[in-house]
Amino acid sequence: MKSELVIDSAGRVVLPSEARRRLNLRPGSRLRLAVVAERLELTPAPESDVALVRSPGRRQVLQATGKAFDAAAATRAERDEQARPRRSR
């Protein structure tokens, strides 16, 4: 499948519905972007085995999966993500 996309003034593109359907992409799906030579490659990011849910107290808690989980590594990754400078719009 090939199609031509247009970048809007905010830098966004809309993926054609056929591509989203074929790759099982839903709102909130994460994609990885790679610049390879003179082209862009978008690939679906692997889905995490860990799901965060909001409790009635508005806390984010892990949903039980029965799988092993490295909380220390997840905490470090979250801190690293929050420490990155954000671009202003």
pLDDT digits (tens, 9 = 90+) for 51-69: 666 667 766 666 666 666 6
- How many angstroms from the chain centroid is the CA of residue 52? 14
Statement: residue 80 has pLDDT above 90: no
pTM tops 0.85: no
Block residue for tokens 């830098």: 11
Ramachandran assignment for 37, one of left (phi > 0), alpha (psi -120 to 50 degrees), beta (any other): left
Of 61, 26, 17, nearest to 45 by C-alpha is 26
Convert the pLDDT of each residue in 15-46 to its tens digit.
999 998 888 888 888 899 999 999 999 988 87
